[in-house]
Structure 1
Amino acid sequence: MNILTEKFNTPYHAAPFDGIKNEDFLPAFKELIKKSEDEINGIVSNPEAATFENVIEALAYSGEQLDVVSNIFFNLNSAETSDEIQKIAQEVSPLLTEYSSKISQNEALFSKIKKVYDEKEKYNLNEEQEMLLNETYKGFVRSGALLNEEDKEKLQKINMDLSLKSLQFGQNVLASTNSYFKHITDQEELAGIPEAILEQYAEEAKERELEGWVVTLQYPSYIPFMTYAENRELRKEIALASGKKSFDGGEFDNQGLIKELLQLKQQKAELLGYQNYADYVLEERMAKSPVKVFEFLNELLTKAKPYADKEIDELRSLAKAAGIKELQGYDHAFYAEKLRKQKYDFNDEELKPYFPLDQVQEAVFGLAGKLFGLRFSERNDIPKYHEDVKVYEVSETESEKAEDGSFKALLYVDYFPRKGKRAGAWMTSYKNQYKKDGENSRPHISIVCNFSKPTKDTPSLLTFQEVTTLFHEFGHALHGMMADTQYPSLSGTSVKWDFVELPSQFLENFCYEPEFLKTFAKHYKTGEVLPDEKIEKIEQSKSFMEGYQTMRQLGFGLLDMNYHTKVAELENETVKEFEDKYTKATTLYPVNPETAMSPSFSHIFQGGYSAGYYSYKWAEVLDADAFQYFKETGIFNPETAAKYKILLSSGGTKDPMELYKSFRGSEPKVESLLKRAFG
């Protein structure tokens, strides 16, 4: 018996992590793929006439257990990987790609879908059903259902290659990140580093059985070093190591893979009748076309550049006073922190004691309670994949006085870095929400971050940026937990990619509201509330270096869009030459010939942001405009929150612009973002 192919005998049928063995995965995938294929064959061989119910709905509900096991496996591959799991991933990915290709290229299945699509007028479908039908039909067409046999085979091979190569890209970045560490034995070299960070570096050294201190390229280690280390040469050395991730010509170099991935995407787009991969992707986004994206990014670039130049000039003056003739990229965080301290009289380390992780989590849970009536109760009887993980049962009460809330979701939180965990922060799902046979099957959602671990004497203390990171991921989690749709493929965060960041970025706004901040920013030792003048500084500092940050994001967005519209240029250029050319307009510091960010740009070469990185800025316009509405009506206004709840719970059942207009009453305005960013 394989635990992964049986109904999970756990509360709410949660993933049975404590019983899963690595050797269970491959046979489970093979068995569940076979089972799912049988379900598809059942739809195809059904002798009755094709209808919405026996084709479109049946397909929407097929492969449920396979989806769950895939989520479990690939989440582990990100959060708790090992050589063995990575090896299994290399075997499993082609199987899943082949399986999805078989479905998308099943002519008999597509002919039934097309029949229902062509006759949709007779079915009297509701809005969600019509969306499911349109998305299903379009999904098949975009997967090559209208291609001839030879081209279908070509597409299948391209998809297989893309799957394996993008997986390899991510593994190379992780291995390259983990392969470097800086061992320091002389404490003088760590001048400027706050005590809590030194403690963290000492713990890292101890784990490696070394004396002294160890700095790694993992963000909780790297960012504080670049921000506080007075030793400029060491900052340069460590920044150089970070900038060389998968760009050093060694075993984990990604430059060749980038070209291969981009060529494969271009071939795929052309095969499906598109000019380039960006055209293919953007057909399914709010933005609709590369022209619209370039216009959007360049408009912001024109407006933000003067602010960014002014910010960098301020940093140059500071650095010049310290005897530095030419400010470099590896100086930015250090002097930005000095300028922020000068302007706002606080630094992240001073604020950290007011933001112990447990208090911040309690605040974000409380906010969800106030806005949406959610309650969170820790469960110790639900299996976890690592001892650091905590699991919460989320319930919803009809009123504040209700004793029993209806079950809403499971929420897993995984906050601390480990060797087998990739860098960054993300929200993911183990199980989607959907309704079937009269039952509302609730979602299992996870938040994964990389915050500093608690030590023997100190709890995990967050920088203010990490506070906003937790709110960001929790915003995504709310989108998943609040889901209330009929079909799993339209549930939760299954929305257009340039709409998906709205709920996450929206929630970050609350971190800057004094009224809310005072409820949880309290010193972990004394209980003292963060003083008003510091709260005021946080509020003012919201737009600190906003010009620089905007240019950075626009640089990523423009590079991504150029990669996916101008791939032919890479035949005669290196990745570095291409990158430098298309980030030139947004580059604020001298370019280092030894570094490049593309070879570790996982968002677009491993994640789902290919031809979609612009969506972070696009979503900022949405979130600034949405929060402006909350500010106009009161940030805890129940009517506004109720309207926003509809937006969250609707998932992908409606066109996102229509959904947004229903909430806000109008389309979002770029001015809302510019006003928030630059006043």
Structure 2
Amino acid sequence: MKQGNPLLEPFDTAPFMKIKTEHYKPAIEQAIELARKDIAEITAATEAPTFENTIEKLEFAGEKLDRITSIFFNINSAETNDEIQKLAQEISPALTDFKNDVIQNAELFKRVKEVYLTKDALDLNVEQQTLLDKKYKMFTRNGANLSAEQKQELRALDKKLAALSLNFGENVLAETNKYELHITNERDLEGLPKGVKTAARMLAKEKNKEGWIFNLHYPSYIPFMKYAKKRELRKELAIAFGAKGFHGDQLDNRENVLQIVKLRHQKANLLGYPTYAHYKLEERMAETPEKVNSFMEELLEKAKPAAEKEFKELEAFARDLDQIDQLQKWDAAYYSEKLKQKLFDFDDEQLKPYFELNNVINGVFLVAEKLYGLKFQQVFEVEVYHPEVTTYTVTNEDGKEIALFYADFHPREGKRGGAWMTSYKSQYRQNGQDERPHISIVCNFTKPTDEEPSLLTFNEVTTLFHEFGHALHGMLANTTYPSTSGTNVYWDFVELPSQVLENWCYEKEALKLFAKHFETGEVIPDELIQKIKESATFHEGMATLRQLSFGMLDMSWHGQDPSGIEDVKAHEEKAFESTQLYPEVKENCMSTSFSHIFQGGYAAGYYSYKWAEVLDADAFEFFTENGIFDSETARKFRDTVLSQGGTEHPLVLYKRFRGREAAPEALLRRAGLLPKN
């Protein structure tokens, strides 16, 4: 008997164990047809358009398609292979076509517009008003008012952009996976901690090689750059890392970058915007490129003197220690770590034994319990896409199940780099039923070895809290519609819940809950916590400059007409001029692997990290005024921010929480760039 397609059967949790690669395409094709029928039902209605029969119906049209595509594209990020990538190249144009068919459906837009034009006479609540605005803008911002010829042009642009973005990401992943630094002489490992060497030996063993292997995945790359004494090897690895997509071969991304920015600009112009940044920022808290540039310039003005002072101190330190005449980029992490050890008498290796992965997971769960009354129970019957994935049911203080949580922590060849939160099912209400979300975080943390469990660096600890902050935004959602739920908020607001949670990693009251030595069970000593706090602003000027440089590069690609740009590297060097500290490396180019803006959703939005830092520093000051686990402050943050998703303008939500707009001085104080109160 022929097996059915599990993606087309009814399911609540994703049926990962039953899905075969060949199921995706036919399931998506059939789901597109079902979605077309949903749309046809709306346009065929004979009664006058209303919020219920047009806007709400449109919101829930294509529900099956949304569920299936979320599974497919999440797998393409977390557990991909050549077959999946090839499928993505076939599926993306079909989805783009469908999206354009909906947006360019004149009859559908006519009905939406009719409802929109009578909105003042309708008795809509705030979330309904937001949804109506979103649906109307979905059409107007995507060409509904264009001529037939222009609509065809837009359709072609979107199709090309979808393919180019996928190709960009595939090249970055292939470049990351193909490089390895194979070391056979143990003397070349001088300076590296024992756990790092063990992991490298295991990696070599997996590849049936003698010695040690280091690669471009963060858990391997970062400790090598931070601790390896041999400068030539740091240089080799750093150049390999910075040259992804910049080798002039079939994986070169320069042409992809130029085509993407030029097509995005054409799209913006077609829709009536001067640049792509103008188009994107219309739906952001920052609103305009001018405001973003002014925001970054203001931060640059405050951070640059501090960064230059820090850089001079680092230069002097490297000169005294190792007679280094000119600091290079491959020296940055190494000498910064050495200087930090000297100034604060501690390093990451002293901290790692207190941050065993399972303890940190329990810690973030405990923080969520103390703040929001949540409990996490591991479950084993939920299907997963890889044996390393763990699943948990999440219940609130009343014992009611509010979410399903997936966690996937270690690097693999099929997983793209970095860390992210995603969802397999949004929270929403329909037919009197509150559908609860299925949320996932995916990271690339240090793997356990045959000698030690997974011991996290402090940076990995803050990354886990960051992604978990996003996850809480999804789990605690309490809205009616999927497109206003959870993280469906303005892009420069989405980082507030994630970044604010990182603050608990620096607080004694939180750290004592989970930072316990993996061998002895000893709770992290106060002196180490004090050193974490003291070193928190170490080289903050340089760190701020680095983040600003990425934001400025992003705006240089998207905030002007890029049609005259022919040389990616030359353009990048110009964009980095005001933030440059280290000499330029001719073999390297950041843009060719800048996945955030060329594959992820951060185009004209990388500034969001700094923008949200202003919000998170200001919000956390409110917590510290009342106690970091103050239940009233936490309840207020949950009820005004986390549960509300995108139901209202973020500025309204934030002011409801804080009683005023965020004060930028809070960030500057925390960064040590202004005196604290």
TM-score, length-scaled by structure 1: 0.98
What are the equivalent positions in structure 2 for 1:58-97 lying under 5 Å apart?
58-97=57-96
Q: Which residue of 2 aligns with 1:627?
A: 620
Residue 317 of structure 2 aligns with which residue?
A: 318
Q: Tell me the alpha carbon deviations over residues 461-497 of structure 1, each in whole angstroms, 9 at most, x when there is no partner.
A: 0000100000000000000000010000000000000
Structure 1 match to 2:137: 138
Residue 607 (1) aligns with residue 600 (2): yes
1:597 to 590, 599, 603: 590
Cα offset, 1:196, TM superposition: 0.3
SS in 2 for 1:159: helix
Q: Tell me the equivalent position of 2:7.
A: 4
Distance (Å, rounded) in 1 between the aligned partners of 2:248 and 2:603: 24
Q: Distance in 2 between matches of 1:573 and 1:381?
A: 54
Contact 2:258 2:566 in 1 (8 A): no
Number of the residue aligned with 1:651: 645
Question: How far is the alpha carbon of 1:120 from its aligned partner?
Answer: 1.3
Listed one character per residue, the Cα deviations across residues 132-183 of structure 1 (whole Å, up to 9, x for unaligned) are: 0011101110010011100000001100111010010000100111111011
1:270-349 equivalences under 5 Å are 270-321=269-320, 322-349=322-349
State how far apart, in whole Å, the 1-side matches of 2:653 and 2:513 are. 32
> SS of 1:469's equivalent?
helix
Residue 37 of structure 2 aligns with which residue?
A: 38
Distance verdict in 2 for CA 1:572–1:94, change over 3 Å: closer
Whichever residue aligns with residue 454 of structure 1, its letter is: P
User: How far apart, in 2, do the equivalents of 1:549 and 1:157 lie?
Assistant: 40
Shift of 1:250: 1.2
Provide runs of 4+ in structure 1 moved above 2 Å.
570-573
Distance in 1, Cα, partners of 2:372 & 2:565: 55
Is the 8 Å Cα contact of residues 565 and 571 (structure 2) preserved in structure 1?
Answer: no
Q: In the alignment, what sits opposite 2:547?
A: 553
How many residues get paired? 668
Q: More deviation in 234-243 or 558-567?
A: 558-567
Match for residue 520 of structure 2? 526
Query: Is structure 2 residue 641 aligned with structure 1 residue 642?
Result: no
Q: Match for residue 24 of structure 1?
A: 23
- Of the structure 1 ranges 651-660 and 539-548, higher mean CA displacement relative to structure 2 is found in 539-548
The letter for the 2-side match of 1:153 is Q
CA drift at 1:587: 1.2
Decide whether the 8 Å contact of 2:15 with 2:383 is kept in 1.
Answer: yes
How do 1:101-250 and structure 2 match up within 5 A?
101-250=100-249
- 1:265 aligns with 264
Deviations 1:76-130 (A, max 9, x none): 0000000010011011000110111110110000000000001112321011101
Task: Report deviation, 1:203.
Answer: 0.8
1:486 maps to which of 480, 486, 496: 480
Moved more, 178-187 or 491-500: 178-187
* Cα distance in 2 for residues equivalent to 1:456 and 1:183: 20
> In the TM superposition, what is the alpha-carbon distance from 1:397 to its structure 2 partner?
1.8
Residue 498 of structure 2 corresponds to residue 504 of structure 1: yes
Q: Distance in 1 between matches of 2:107 and 2:324?
A: 70
Using the alignment, how far apart are the partners of 2:128 and 2:513 within structure 1?
43
Query: 2:415 matched to 1:412?
Result: no
Q: Per-residue deviation at 1:456?
A: 2.2
Match of 2:657 among 654, 663, 671: 663
Instruction: State the Cα distance separating 1:571 from its structure 2 match.
Output: 2.5
Distance across 2 between alignment mates of 1:387 and 1:509: 31
Secondary structure of 2:515 counterpart: coil
Q: Which runs of 5+ in 2 are unaligned?
A: none
* Aligned residue identity for 2:10: K
State how far apart, in whole Å, the 2-side matches of 1:458 and 1:244 are.
33
AA partner of residue 637 (structure 1): D
Provide the secondary structure at the position in 2 that maps to 1:519.
helix
Preserved CA contact (<8 Å) 2:112 2:136: yes
Displacement after TM superposition at 1:630 (Å): 0.4
Report the Cα distance in structure 1 between the residues aligned to 2:7 and 2:515, rounded to whole angstroms: 43
Query: Are positions 1:466 and 2:455 aligned together?
Result: no
CA distance in 1, matches of 2:195, 2:138: 51
Deviations 1:561-609 (A, max 9, x none): 11112233x5254111110001111111001111111100000000000
Mark the CA change 1:572 to 1:463 in structure 2 (over 3 Å): closer, same or farther.
Answer: closer
Percentage of matched positions with identical amino acids: 55
Query: For 2:417, which of 392, 416, 423 is the aligned residue?
Result: 423
Encode CA deviations 1:343-387: one digit per residue, 9 max, x unaligned. Answer: 111111121001000000001001111111111001100001000
- State the alpha-carbon separation in 2 of the partners of residues 178 and 91 from structure 1: 23
Instruction: Tell me whether 1:450 sits opposite 2:453 in the alignment.
Output: no
Question: Aligned partners of 1:675 and 1:62: how far apart in 2?
Answer: 48
Q: Distance in 1 between matches of 2:617 and 2:397?
A: 29
Question: Which amino acid in 1 is paired with 2:476?
Answer: M
Q: Deviations over 1:46-67 (max 9, x none)?
A: 1111110000000011111111
Equivalent position of 1:402 in the other structure: none
Once the two structures are superposed, what CA deviation does each residue of 1:295-340 show, in whole Å capped at 9, x if it has no partner? Answer: 0000000000011111111111111011111111110000000011
**2:379 maps to what in 1?**
379
Displacement after TM superposition at 1:543 (Å): 0.7
Partner SS, residue 537 of structure 2:
coil
Letter in 2 for 1:303: K
- Three-state SS of the structure 2 residue aligned to 1:518 is helix
Q: Quote the Cα distance in structure 2 between the aligned partners of 1:354 and 1:460.
A: 11
The one-letter code matched in structure 2 to 1:44 is T
Letter in 2 for 1:481: M
Q: Name the CA distance, whole Å, in 2 between partners of 1:467 and 1:347.
A: 15
1:401: which partner in 2?
none
TM-aligned CA deviation for residue 227 of structure 1 = 0.3
Cα deviation 1:251-304 (Å, max 9, x = unaligned): 110001111001100000000000010000000000000000000000000000
Once residues 193 and 550 of structure 1 are traced to their aligned partners in structure 2, the CA distance between those partners, rounded to angstroms, is 27
Letter in 2 for 1:170: G
**Distance across 2 between alignment mates of 1:518 and 1:97:** 49
SS of match in other structure, 1:410:
strand
Give the corresponding residue for 1:370: 370
Question: Secondary structure of the equivalent of 1:625?
Answer: helix
> Superposition RMSD on alpha carbons, in Å?
0.8
Distance 1:508 1:83 in 2: 36
The residue type paired with residue 383 of structure 2 is: P
Q: Does 1:579 align with 2:566?
A: no
